[in-house]
Structure 1
């Protein structure tokens, strides 16, 4: 009797798996399998799905002549492997973009051979990453990218932008900065909001931007109806693109803020009573639409408006996408070339903007190219502040009242007193009724003003809270004009 016949089937499978695969766990306890020398890792619990480790193991056993085993033997072997892997080192898995060693980052091309792009301030190259450095996780949303072209001399970006209908070169520079930000796993990037008249090609331009990162299979989606489905879609890909938004609920707005800057989701694990499943995510987000109504202040700070115009000459979809697919390798190569230059550039980080990492990236892009992206980004935030104010009657009333406060002065009242003051100002002599959504208590007013603080501060109106012996108060102030700088020569003379 042979040794294989003496050994239980589960041991034969486990020995084969240990010899041909590396098993490890992530911080949340999920066990992954990685074929020796290959960077793609698969969760061993994804049984029965296309490309699962269970199928990978069955095919390997059959092709190497070990045998064909029933499902119970494979399940027992995988249960043993999962238990043993819980004492192995912890290593993260990544979708599409990952940090590497020595300050490098990696871009997964989605290829079966595992070839990826290593991006470093000294240059970029196409390599198969060491499995100990990068572990790729792939899903049905992971499309394949073409091999980027070398020595493009920057032509690819011009070829790409020629296919879009952005209103001006400043908007195009913001789109380029966003694409560079998408290649950095540690850089939270604002969500581009592609707007324009009907027929301006917003959806087409959105697909073009997404497919530079996600491949030709990348596409736009309708916004999910609930946060749970949105989180599931975000967790399965890198860039999440939502098309044709016409309304944005407060819950969806809050969820988008979390997606852009990062959040952890915790829910009950399936088939358990006391265990939980954790998932942390921070992803690039892209939106398209003509008008989404009122934009909340916290989301406005995380948006990047990109405006488009109607094209003078129309082209067929087949002709447009055939040209796009042809220029995609050159466009990706040019984007990688520019990314290398930007990461090698030195620039100061602006300290007055919410998305400081993206603002620093814009400053680096300006230092490398002279595009002047950072001033354009600041101007876009001012435009969004105007949109927030135009859609918020309370903000308009606060700014109207602030005009009665001298510059350098302040006014302090309780939140209830402020509510009566602002309500009387809005109603006016005509005693018009207060609008729907107007604060009904001092506490509600205080919370609304806290949310509006960044928007009002951009208009030189500062809101602060505090407490005295009499109780809590709200203070509205207008800062004094900054004193003009004294020239250095005059200081020396004095």
Structure 2
């Protein structure tokens, strides 16, 4: 005889729905998420901090059906499961919303990283170190795209972990350090992260590299995703994982450009609530995003300001490895690499409160992380980031003929005020006219406003100068060159970096050289490694011969304070590390030992 589905029936005892509600009260607590959804959290057992939805394949509904069958030896009806789910959702409506993290969360100055394993473990990282714990101070949710992270190795062996990562990536040394900075920042929630744009010709290993990088932060069965076709597809993609990598991107439609900007900053947008005609929901995602094969010149100016471009170099034929070999090496090294990243994150968290920048770029929080990382490692990632964004801006202007023509015009004029019609008359229209060239003053004004930030970054200001005094009352624009920040011929001095040395968790100094040479890097790894041909790492000769003068020095090898006058630009310099070019300031020395153009 089947059990009744509804409420109590005389002589028949509690219904299935009542028994399910009692079972749910014994097994879980219901919580209201800050995203407006109801979740359940197990009261005991491993993963008692993992919040799972009430519905879905891995939700409470499925778990209740299994538990009911085990306890009562019968299968609950779908209507009973629906009834108890509705009751629990109603209970959640009376609760205060709680933040529920996806892979990462902040808690009292610490970062909590969900390792995603069946035991429900997490890594808790703070300014004084990090540890792996079976309990978490915060709630996490998991999805079908939440895969386990590798169990981190022991703290303190930072140099070996970074050297292992270096052997897997075919980028030059400045680019590699930017990637490390991006990974460290990617472990910091509650801040905007730049979109990593892996550029390079076909065969440079961009997709393989980015899948490895993403799997160090937020592994997934599908680390590389296709370009979403619409807003709904993006919402599904972004809601299921912390890190999103879009592969083989050639063009970005305007709607996706705006959406990606919001995903960087965490801004929300309105959407109609599911199964509702008049209710709306706020969709908000702050995500760690990466792309491959993106042409920076094809980006909108506001998205370009949020991009971190890193160039991958071609791999020589005799240095290529199969994808299986690369991934096997990565799987073996991943625990120590992750431990090294957690070491760096802990040291950066300790340094951040004392990190202040006089000039902040668009991605200010990321710049502060890089500045703190530079103090910890002795690197120069912030200066590299600023230089990379300048190159990216120049590429963007080159891809916009009208904007480039305006920049050239102001460069010659110095200052100009007039209407958009007058500006179009002053600038020669190319023959044939590019498709993006504005055909009338209205479109010219719109394009100029959109590209004002990118023009400002190259020293051209665009200002509203009011209306003309004639009968037309046309809008006037003032275009001018920004004043030089330093006298002509003077090289800007590098930002002053603190001489503090941050200690790693085993008490040793993290100020060791990370080399790109395969032999040196192999020697630096103290942990046993599987048998493999380390000389065939995917790094070109250009990378192997990368300038190591900017590599961090150990405290024993650190050079004494250098002070002098640059023989090229005449600037006075003071520094703690040698550039390899005596009598040269750091900016001039970075030109590779050749005088700058005159």
CA distance in 2, matches of 1:363, 1:341: 12
Structure 1 stretches lacking a partner, 5+ long: 486-494
CA distance in 2, matches of 1:358, 1:141: 26
Q: What residue number does 1:435 align with?
A: 434
CA distance in 2, matches of 1:290, 1:440: 28
Measured against aligned partners, the alpha-carbon deviations of 1:299-342 in whole angstroms (never above 9, x if no partner) come to 21111111111223111222221111011111101100011001
CA distance in 2, matches of 1:304, 1:170: 13
Provide the aligned C-alpha RMSD in A.
Answer: 2.3
CA distance in 1, matches of 2:18, 2:154: 49
Q: What residue number does 2:499 align with?
A: none
Structure 2 SS opposite 1:32: strand
Residues 443 and 376 of structure 1: CA distance in aligned 2, closer, same or farther (over 3 Å): same
CA distance in 2, matches of 1:328, 1:416: 59
8 Å Cα contact 2:400/2:436 also seen in 1: no
Note if 1:477 corresponds to 2:476. Answer: no
Note if 1:270 corresponds to 2:278. Answer: no
8 Å Cα contact 1:115/1:129 also seen in 2: yes
CA distance in 1, matches of 2:429, 2:358: 37
TM-superposed CA distance for 1:9, in Å, is: 2.7
Q: What residue number does 2:265 align with?
A: 261
Q: What residue number does 1:365 align with?
A: 373
Q: What residue number does 2:163 align with?
A: 158
Residues 68 and 279 of structure 1: CA distance in aligned 2, closer, same or farther (over 3 Å): same
TM-superposed CA distance for 1:96, in Å, is: 0.8
Alignment of 1:328-339 (within 5 A): 328-339=334-345
CA distance in 2, matches of 1:181, 1:483: 32
| Residue number among 183, 203, 218 corresponding to 2:207 in the alignment | 203
Tell me whether 372-381 or 311-320 shows the greater mean CA deviation. Answer: 311-320
Residues 483 and 238 of structure 1: CA distance in aligned 2, closer, same or farther (over 3 Å): closer
8 Å Cα contact 1:359/1:374 also seen in 2: yes
TM-score (norm 2): 0.74
Structure 2 stretches lacking a partner, 5+ long: 1-7, 491-598
| Residue number among 123, 139, 143 corresponding to 2:143 in the alignment | 139
Residues 479 and 319 of structure 1: CA distance in aligned 2, closer, same or farther (over 3 Å): closer
| Residue number among 3, 6, 11 corresponding to 2:13 in the alignment | 6
TM-superposed CA distance for 1:25, in Å, is: 1.2
| Residue number among 121, 124, 127 corresponding to 2:130 in the alignment | 124
TM-superposed CA distance for 1:197, in Å, is: 2.0
CA distance in 2, matches of 1:158, 1:218: 27
CA distance in 2, matches of 1:139, 1:73: 25
Residues 137 and 216 of structure 1: CA distance in aligned 2, closer, same or farther (over 3 Å): closer
Note if 1:105 corresponds to 2:108. Answer: no
Residues 179 and 163 of structure 1: CA distance in aligned 2, closer, same or farther (over 3 Å): same
CA distance in 2, matches of 1:28, 1:163: 38
TM-superposed CA distance for 1:113, in Å, is: 1.8
CA distance in 2, matches of 1:468, 1:334: 59
Measured against aligned partners, the alpha-carbon deviations of 1:189-216 in whole angstroms (never above 9, x if no partner) come to 1111111122111111111111101236
Note if 1:41 corresponds to 2:51. Answer: yes
Q: What residue number does 2:591 align with?
A: none
Residues 481 and 55 of structure 1: CA distance in aligned 2, closer, same or farther (over 3 Å): closer
Note if 1:418 corresponds to 2:423. Answer: yes
TM-superposed CA distance for 1:482, in Å, is: 4.3
Q: What residue number does 1:315 align with?
A: 321
Measured against aligned partners, the alpha-carbon deviations of 1:382-410 in whole angstroms (never above 9, x if no partner) come to 1101111111101221122112324xxx3
CA distance in 2, matches of 1:441, 1:405: 22
TM-superposed CA distance for 1:114, in Å, is: 1.1
Measured against aligned partners, the alpha-carbon deviations of 1:337-388 in whole angstroms (never above 9, x if no partner) come to 0110011113113534111010111111111111110000000001101111
Structure 1 SS opposite 2:131: strand
Residues 148 and 2 of structure 1: CA distance in aligned 2, closer, same or farther (over 3 Å): farther
Tell me whether 465-474 or 358-367 shows the greater mean CA deviation. Answer: 465-474
CA distance in 1, matches of 2:221, 2:86: 35
Residues 211 and 294 of structure 1: CA distance in aligned 2, closer, same or farther (over 3 Å): same
TM-score (norm 1): 0.89
Note if 1:62 corresponds to 2:69. Answer: yes
CA distance in 1, matches of 2:455, 2:409: 12
Residues 71 and 456 of structure 1: CA distance in aligned 2, closer, same or farther (over 3 Å): same
CA distance in 1, matches of 2:266, 2:446: 23
Structure 2 SS opposite 1:69: coil
Structure 2 SS opposite 1:334: helix
TM-superposed CA distance for 1:434, in Å, is: 3.0
8 Å Cα contact 1:170/1:373 also seen in 2: yes
| Residue number among 309, 324, 345 corresponding to 2:330 in the alignment | 324
Residues 338 and 80 of structure 1: CA distance in aligned 2, closer, same or farther (over 3 Å): same
Report the count of equivalent residues. 469
Alignment of 1:12-411 (within 5 A): 12-37=19-44, 38-46=48-56, 49=57, 51-65=58-72, 68-100=75-107, 102-130=108-136, 133-154=137-158, 155-166=160-171, 168-215=172-219, 217-289=221-293, 291=295, 294-312=298-316, 313-345=319-351, 346-406=354-414, 410-411=415-416
Measured against aligned partners, the alpha-carbon deviations of 1:450-494 in whole angstroms (never above 9, x if no partner) come to 221222122211111142573432110113334769xxxxxxxxx
Measured against aligned partners, the alpha-carbon deviations of 1:30-51 in whole angstroms (never above 9, x if no partner) come to 11111114111112133xx2x2
TM-superposed CA distance for 1:273, in Å, is: 1.1
8 Å Cα contact 1:248/1:292 also seen in 2: no
CA distance in 1, matches of 2:358, 2:207: 32
Alignment of 1:450-461 (within 5 A): 450-461=449-460
Residues 3 and 134 of structure 1: CA distance in aligned 2, closer, same or farther (over 3 Å): farther
CA distance in 2, matches of 1:84, 1:290: 47
Structure 2 SS opposite 1:465: strand
CA distance in 1, matches of 2:71, 2:357: 56
Structure 2 SS opposite 1:266: strand
TM-superposed CA distance for 1:415, in Å, is: 2.7
